[in-house]
Structure 1
Amino acid sequence: MKVLIATEKPFAAVAVDGMRKVIEEAGAELVLLEKYTSKQELLDAVATAEALIIRSDKVDAEVLAAAPALKVVVRAGAGYDNVDLEAATARGVCVQNTPGQNSNAVAELVFGLAVMMSRNMFNGTSGTELKDKTLGIQAFGQVGRNVARIARGFEMNVSALDPYCPDNVMEDAGVAPVHSVEELYRLNKVVSIHIPATPETRKSIGYDLIAAMPKGGLLINTARKEVIDEEGLIRALDERADLKYAADVAPERAVEIKERFGDRVFFTPKKMGAQTSEANINAGIAAARQVISFLTTGEERFRVNK
């Protein structure tokens, strides 16, 4: 069994050590491709791999076609829109993610952004506190549940929208269920986005939703840039000088938006949600374990393609 770890942005050394231990103790061979600078390097490396572990690296139809022995791809993290699921299914390749491993790291970033934006990026002017403010969570998965947990410490009033999560699960977490996206944005001064980028969600958050937020509204996006309608975002920010937007991933028009709205917007220089040593280790080792389980027993609990 040959397992390829291919990462433009490498795992931490301690994570690689843990992954190596899991893989080699199972009798598999580990091949490491880090900081590669061309797609051809990935195409060459994957040629004989039976399993592939990635982070934000793109696995498209060309990569899959170059890997005739490939059986499983594990994306170390929750999001998996960097993998062509249809092409993987067509080639009989199982695609998995590692949900929950990065969730606390992302949730803590939400509150780092929330505090910074509420305090006007610490520019010396008077800001606001999070205590007693309303927080709406868009999608109540692992990250959303951690956001709710941390929000309790800030004494915020929390509601959430997730058509796939039963109301009682939210209520047990001290969260009020909301049943329409319009209501979520209209009722909450802070909204935290945790939806995946799918054909249904791309550009789904635009002017009407953002402009409906209460006075002093703050929209935080640690999900995907594709879910935002940038034209609508710009229009809302332009019309409402009280609105703010902070994101873990820069929009396509980041330079223009920053120039126009200054301290009312903030974007991390690269996606930072999972960029903690703990999340790096957790997701990497989980990916290694899932690869070995699939290759040895066929376990596919975290499969995301059909």
Structure 2
Amino acid sequence: MTKVLVATDKPFAKVAVAGIRKVVEAAGFELALLEKYTEVSQFLAAVADADALIVRSDLVTAEVLDAAKQLKIVVRAGAGFDNIDLEAATKHGVVVMNTPGQNSNAVAELAFEMMLYQARGGFAGKSGFELRGKTLGLHAFGYVGKCMAAIAKGFGMQLFAYDPFLSAEDIAKEGVTPVASAEELYEKCQYVSLHMPANAKTKLSINHALLSRMPKGATLVNTARAEVIHEEDLLRVFEERPDFVYLSDVAPICKADIEAKYPGRFLFTAKKMGAQTEEANTNAGIAAAEQIRDFIVKGDKRFQVNK
């Protein structure tokens, strides 16, 4: 019998586990849970006889893959998959997938919650400003970017997007104005929201050359990854521009410097919060189970990321 292991240091919500179990058992598979484990050795022991693996932010390293002698597929319940060693997985013949789109609305809502909190001065009783009429640039226009656009239209914001993997026509059909370059996006927009993955091309790419182009009242919103920010350049922009604000659910390494020198010009969540809703948790977990079922039963590799 195919064994599906859900290994989560931070467990899924009970409703999500129930949904995963329903999909797995309906397919005739066995479900095993490893929740709140404290030692890597526990993970290694649990994965030894698993055919399929579902994780959240848990590290699937070469060591884990070495221990997983029967493993055929691992699915990251979420969009990012930098917690999985793709090279090692490929060497072991293990298919790696993510669940794109399942957390998108939760991430987009968090971005707007941070923007609203900052715009109204942290609800401290002081006068703030409105989002209506402000320019919002979406740096990458995938699932989250499209959710951002839908919400921003309700606020009456002016929308622009840059994505090197999409045509201008693809962006325009969503009611968003396409721009030809990242530089143009930053020049036009008071708000820029980041939605790209962390990879060789994007790491450290959000730098002084881009941020210094932003108009007065510039606010950078990061619900993507910390690694895309060039932190030395970020600190330089903070120093040069008293109008610059940084909102992020990924606290930078230079957090202490920003907190000490630039009060009122930043917001960092206590931990990465983008996908931390019951709905996103459930959607991603069930999608992961469905993708495993379809891979085992039909050979469906639609969401494979280690091609």
TM-score computed with the length of structure 2 as normaliser: 0.98
Which position in structure 1 is the counterpart of 2:93? Answer: 92
| 1:54-97 C-alpha deviation (Å, 9 max, x unpaired) | 11111111111111110000001111111111111111100001
Which position in structure 2 is the counterpart of 1:206? Answer: 207
> Shift of the alpha carbon at 1:297?
1.5
User: Is 1:252–2:253 an aligned residue pair?
Assistant: yes
Amino acid at match of 1:278: E
**Which structure 1 residue ranges, 4+ long, deviate > 3 Å from structure 2?**
none
User: Is 1:281–2:279 an aligned residue pair?
Assistant: no
Which position in structure 2 is the counterpart of 1:72? Answer: 73
Which position in structure 2 is the counterpart of 1:163? Answer: 164
| 1:12-71 C-alpha deviation (Å, 9 max, x unpaired) | 000001101111111111110111122221111111111000111111111111111100
Amino acid at match of 2:213: A
SS at match of 2:264: helix
Q: Contact conserved, 1:120 with 1:264, CA < 8 A, in 2?
A: no
Which position in structure 2 is the counterpart of 1:27? Answer: 28
> Shift of the alpha carbon at 1:157?
0.4
What are the ranges of 5 or more consecutive residues in structure 1 without an aligned counterpart? none
SS at match of 1:148: helix
Length, aligned pairs only: 306
> Shift of the alpha carbon at 1:169?
1.8
Amino acid at match of 1:98: T
Which position in structure 1 is the counterpart of 2:18? Answer: 17
Separation of aligned partners in 2, 1:202 and 1:161: 17
Separation of aligned partners in 1, 2:39 and 2:240: 43
Which position in structure 2 is the counterpart of 1:102? Answer: 103
> Shift of the alpha carbon at 1:218?
0.5
| 1:175-230 C-alpha deviation (Å, 9 max, x unpaired) | 01111111111110000000000011111101221122111110000000000011
SS at match of 1:263: coil
SS at match of 2:263: helix
| 1:238-265 C-alpha deviation (Å, 9 max, x unpaired) | 1111110010111122222222212211
Q: Contact conserved, 1:79 with 1:97, CA < 8 A, in 2?
A: yes
Separation of aligned partners in 1, 2:99 and 2:165: 19
Q: Contact conserved, 1:197 with 1:227, CA < 8 A, in 2?
A: yes
Amino acid at match of 1:240: R
SS at match of 2:216: coil
Separation of aligned partners in 1, 2:263 and 2:94: 45
Separation of aligned partners in 2, 1:267 and 1:179: 31
Which position in structure 2 is the counterpart of 1:48? Answer: 49
> Shift of the alpha carbon at 1:125?
2.7
Amino acid at match of 2:17: V
SS at match of 2:262: helix
- Cα RMSD of the aligned pairs, angstroms, is 1.0
Q: Contact conserved, 1:10 with 1:34, CA < 8 A, in 2?
A: yes
Which position in structure 2 is the counterpart of 1:300? Answer: 301
Separation of aligned partners in 2, 1:294 and 1:69: 15
TM-score computed with the length of structure 1 as normaliser: 0.98
User: Is 1:266–2:273 an aligned residue pair?
Assistant: no
What are the ranges of 5 or more consecutive residues in structure 2 without an aligned counterpart? none
Separation of aligned partners in 2, 1:193 and 1:106: 11
Amino acid at match of 1:50: D
